[in-house]
Amino acid sequence: MDYTLEPVAFSEIEGWRDDDPSSLFPVMARCLYHMREVKPYRTGSLGVTSDELAAVFAAAASVSPVDAGTARAFFETHFQPLRIRPAAGAGGFVTAFYEPDVAVSAVPDDDFRYPFYRRPPDLVDLDDANRPARLDSSYAFARRTASGIDPYPDRRAIDGGYLAGKGLEIAWARSRVDVFFAHVQGAARLVYPDGRVQRITYAAKAGHPFTGIGRHLVDIGEIPPAQISMLSIRAWLGAHPERVDDVLWRNRSYIFFREAPVADPALGPVAAAKVPLEAMRSIAVDRLIHTFASPVFVTSPTLTHLIGGRPFARLMMALDTGTAIVGPARGDIFTGSGFEAGALAGNVRNAADFVILVPKPAAGRLLG
């Protein structure tokens, strides 16, 4: 295990007394419904189970009214905070993601030429039972062919027309860059010319590893390391249209989407935990370690632009995951939907401390 868990008191958590986690009560209710009525969440290696979380969330349903003090008291009563101490030399780290708004058309034309695709029928899920030996264990998807299972075509091949004409297009965007960044975020709100809004969210991927194009642009000297962000990457791509394809194709990963209703515009997309994301209260984590719906308190003294110039210190709910989110103290904060949320998310690359809140019945087992 490349981390340790250190019991702490709530009074030792920097920023706890100033936080208002009351907005997480509806989130707990939605997670409780999913765990009990749909499917329990897979238990991460840390060891917290869906049943242990569900028991606490059921108790939360009887708390009313919920204000900041009542909310904190509930968590203090039912949870034991455990500080995550990564292995020597490895600190905690946060980035951020958002749900972009993308102008689209339902039919292609000279302006709208770049498709969002649904999951193809020849894409299959891989596991240890059917994964060919030549494919790395990181491959969760591949292509089913008459002769067996092969790697799925990558971003370059799909951009080159591999899926064209197969009826998988959801809509067409004006810019390949817009499509690419929707892939990176894993969701988008599609805005049609008549004002209709359609949400799309992650359905599957081609299977190839994710490669950050920001790192490539730093390595070739195009953007200084201190200036790398989503905004600087987009600005560089806009200034170098003749090099866009070459840079984007460095990331062979390709995302497929499914349509989802915009049931509540105030909430974010339905993510990996199968419940809507709550802006500034939802975080993507390493799902191999953490169980979805686990509360995590994140503190980052250097991250000050997300909540009014104050250091970031908030109780979050683990509701999503991502290829680049690896490790016990690694998180991706959901900032919301639209342009302003994107401007906030694009500049988050900060050291952070993570304290996971574990249901008290589970704490003794984990520490024993």
What is the chain's mean pLDDT, rounded?
94
Express as a percent the part of the chain with pLDDT over 70. Answer: 99
Mark whether 189 and 234 lie in a shared domain: yes
Q: Which residues contact 195 (CB under 8 A, 6 or more apart)?
A: none
Mark whether 84 and 185 lie in a shared domain: no
Residue for token digits 């302006």?
Answer: 111
Mark whether 143 and 231 lie in a shared domain: yes
Residues 170, 167: Cα–Cα separation, whole Å: 9
pLDDT tens profile 83-105:
999 887 678 999 999 999 999 99
Cα 1 to chain centroid, rounded: 24
Average pLDDT over residues 217-224: 96
- Kindly report the backbone phi and psi dihedral angles of residue 201, in degrees, each rounded to the nearest multiple of 5, phi listed first: -140, 165
Predicted confidence at residue 9, as pLDDT, reads 97
Boundary (domain end) residue, out of 260, 291, 325 = 260
Residues 294, 361: Cα–Cα separation, whole Å: 14
Domain count, the chain: 2
Contact 302, 351 (CB under 8 A): yes
Boundary (domain end) residue, out of 234, 260, 286 = 260
pLDDT tens profile 12-62:
999 999 999 999 999 999 999 999 999 999 999 999 999 999 999 999 999
Provide the CATH number for the domain around residue 39: 2.40.40.10
Mark whether 34 and 12 lie in a shared domain: yes
Mark whether 184 and 239 lie in a shared domain: yes
What domain range is 317 assigned to? 3-96+267-367
Mark whether 192 and 288 lie in a shared domain: no
Mark whether 68 and 26 lie in a shared domain: yes
Q: And the tokens for 152?
A: 């799925």
Closest Cα to residue 329, out of 48, 45, 92, 8?
Answer: 92
Mark whether 288 and 165 lie in a shared domain: no
Residues 97, 341: Cα–Cα separation, whole Å: 8
Given a cut of 90, is residue 230 above it in pLDDT? no
Confidence grade of residue 312 (pLDDT, cut at 50, 70, 90): very high
Contact 331, 284 (CB under 8 A): yes
Mark whether 251 and 186 lie in a shared domain: yes
pLDDT tens profile 133-154:
888 888 889 999 998 899 999 9
Average pLDDT over residues 266-283: 92
Full DSSP string of 20-81: -GGGHHHHHHHHHHIIIII-PPPPPTT---HHHHHHHHHHHTT--S--HHHHHHHHHHHEEE
Contact 332, 283 (CB under 8 A): yes
Average pLDDT over residues 161-188: 96
The SS3 call for residue 184 is: helix
Boundary (domain end) residue, out of 232, 260, 288 = 260
pLDDT tens profile 240-270:
999 999 999 999 999 999 998 777 878 899 9
Mark whether 234 and 320 lie in a shared domain: no
Mark whether 103 and 197 lie in a shared domain: yes
Contact 343, 231 (CB under 8 A): yes
Predicted confidence at residue 262, as pLDDT, reads 73
Closest Cα to residue 138, out of 288, 274, 14, 38?
Answer: 288
In order of 66, 223, 238, 342, 361, the CA distances from 56 in angstroms are: 16, 47, 49, 34, 10
Mark whether 179 and 135 lie in a shared domain: yes
Predicted confidence at residue 65, as pLDDT, reads 86
Provide the CATH number for the domain around residue 114: 2.40.240.50
Predicted confidence at residue 1, as pLDDT, reads 58
